[in-house]
Structure 1
Amino acid sequence: MPLSDGKKIYFASDQHFGAPTRALSFPREQQFVRWLDEIKSDAGAIFLLGDLFDFWFEYSTVVPKGFIRVLGKLAEIRDSGIPIYFFVGNHDLWMHDYFEKELNIPVYHDNQEYTFGGKTFLIGHGDGKGPGDKGYKRMKKVFTNRFSKWLYRWLHPDLGMKLAQYLSVKNKLISGDADVKFLGEDKEWLVLYAKRKLQTRHYDYFVFGHRHLPMTIPVGENATYINLGDWIGYFTYGVFDGERFELKEYKG
């Protein structure tokens, strides 16, 4: 992907809009829209790395109500010609083709490789990668199973959305009761995943979300693992200017 002079690549993840309630989520949505409005002047591309919504499920003719300001701003930016790429997370993994058809934003369900300014990137949400977390990996297989999704579609949307929201806010990370801590390089699964990938191919940057902690960790010679943090407690994002990658905090 060519990067024009003065243009930058922006990355953000784990906004979890809708949690713990729509009313409490709304100020964060407004802040995210302000960020999008500011970066559109020099954005060469925008990568959203999952869990934009705390829950998302697409029925054949129904999508979740709300988030109109976020969706409208994404539509505006995309219509202006700026590419936007969306990677599903573990909270919005039931996304199908709504973004592609309505917003012209491609949706990815697994890692993708890119090259910007001669630097190679491996990009994804990060859930289910690396060693450990076998319980979640088994659960994800159930959630992504076609039969499971077919069964869920038989729930009336009002019931399906309420059930999903109830289960989602039980997650202590989103309810604000969790103390997310750095586990150490030898225990951070995505760090171990990046080091393992380097055994077969070099990447300059591994960019993921999911952990909700802003992290920049060297994982090899000229190779760096970056976790984007979140828009719940940190309001952090990544920016690559063609030469270097930085994590920044948005205070607008």
Structure 2
Amino acid sequence: MQITTNKKIYFASDQHFGAPTPELSFPREQKFVAWLDEIKGDADTIFLLGDLFDFWFEYKTVVPKGFIRVLGKLAEIRDSGIPIYFFVGNHDLWMDDYFEKVLNIPIYRENQEYIFGDKTFLIGHGDGKGPGDIGYKRMKKVFTNPFSKWLFRWLHPDIGVRLGHYLSVKNKLISGDEDVKFLGEENEWLILYSKRKLETKHYNYFVFGHRHLPLKVPVGENSEYVNLGDWIGYFTYGVFDGETFELKKFE
């Protein structure tokens, strides 16, 4: 892809809207909408790298209520002609075709490769990548199994959404009981994953979410791993101007 002159590519992830309660989430939703309003003037493309919602499940004719300001702003930006790409995270992994059919926003479940100008990118949410976390990888296989999704669909939406939200909000990253710290390059799974990918193909940037910690770490010659942080405590995002990638904080 060629970036339009004076335009930029924006990246954000891990908003977890709806957690820990809709009321407490609402100010964060307002802040995210304000950010979208700010960037839409010079945005060439917007990438949302998963966990936009703390829980999301699409029944045939029902989606979770709320988030109307966020969804409306995404629809407005997309209707203006700015491409938006969404990567499913582990909290909204039961997303189906609502974004594609209603908002005209394509969704992806696996990493995707892009070339912007002369820079190569590998982009994804980041869950289940790299060594370790065997328990989660097994759980993800169960939850992404079509039979599991079919069973859950038989729950009435009032029960299913409430149950899903209850389980999702138990995540300590949202409740604030867990202090997210850098574990060192030898213990950060996505850094190890990025270095392993470089053994077979070069990328200038590996851009992921999931970790909830803003990071920008060299992983090879002219290659960096970037984690976008979150919109819970950091309110950070990535921006690429065609030459360099920066992590910024939205005040």
TM-score, normalised by the number of residues in structure 1: 0.99
Give the unaligned 5+ runs of structure 2. none
Counterpart of 1:96 in structure 2 is: 96
Amino acid at match of 2:227: N
Counterpart of 2:55 in structure 1 is: 55
Q: RMSD between aligned alpha carbons?
A: 0.4
Counterpart of 1:111 in structure 2 is: 111
Name the SS of the counterpart of 2:185 in structure 1. Answer: coil
Counterpart of 2:37 in structure 1 is: 37
Name the SS of the counterpart of 2:234 in structure 1. Answer: coil
CA distance in 2, matches of 1:90, 1:60: 21
Counterpart of 2:24 in structure 1 is: 24
User: How many angstroms does 1:220 deviate by?
Assistant: 0.2
Name the SS of the counterpart of 2:165 in structure 1. Answer: helix
Amino acid at match of 1:237: Y
Per-residue Cα deviation, 1:4-51 (whole angstroms, up to 9, x for no partner): 100000000000000000000000000000000000000000000000
- The number of residue pairs the alignment matches comes to 251
Q: Do residues 223 (structure 1) and 223 (structure 2) align? A: yes
Per-residue Cα deviation, 1:167-196 (whole angstroms, up to 9, x for no partner): 111111111111111110001000000000
Counterpart of 1:246 in structure 2 is: 246
Name the SS of the counterpart of 2:26 in structure 1. Answer: helix
Counterpart of 1:167 in structure 2 is: 167
User: How many angstroms does 1:147 deviate by?
Assistant: 0.3
Give the unaligned 5+ runs of structure 1. none
Name the SS of the counterpart of 1:26 in structure 2. Answer: helix
CA distance in 1, matches of 2:246, 2:117: 15
Runs of 4+ with deviation above 2 angstroms: none
CA distance in 1, matches of 2:207, 2:125: 8
User: How many angstroms does 1:245 deviate by?
Assistant: 0.1
CA distance in 1, matches of 2:53, 2:213: 18
Instruction: Describe how 1:181-192 pairs up with structure 2 within 5 A.
Output: 181-192=181-192
User: How many angstroms does 1:81 deviate by?
Assistant: 0.2
Instruction: Describe how 1:114-153 pairs up with structure 2 within 5 A.
Output: 114-153=114-153
User: How many angstroms does 1:117 deviate by?
Assistant: 1.4
User: How many angstroms does 1:88 deviate by?
Assistant: 0.4
Amino acid at match of 1:163: L
User: How many angstroms does 1:227 deviate by?
Assistant: 0.1
CA distance in 2, matches of 1:118, 1:4: 14
Amino acid at match of 1:2: Q
CA distance in 1, matches of 2:226, 2:123: 10
CA distance in 2, matches of 1:64, 1:141: 23
Amino acid at match of 1:146: P
Counterpart of 1:203 in structure 2 is: 203
CA distance in 1, matches of 2:171, 2:242: 37
User: How many angstroms does 1:2 deviate by?
Assistant: 1.2
Counterpart of 2:86 in structure 1 is: 86
Name the SS of the counterpart of 1:216 in structure 2. Answer: strand
User: How many angstroms does 1:201 deviate by?
Assistant: 0.2
Counterpart of 1:69 in structure 2 is: 69
CA distance in 1, matches of 2:34, 2:169: 25
Counterpart of 2:214 in structure 1 is: 214
Amino acid at match of 1:125: H
Amino acid at match of 1:46: I
Counterpart of 1:154 in structure 2 is: 154
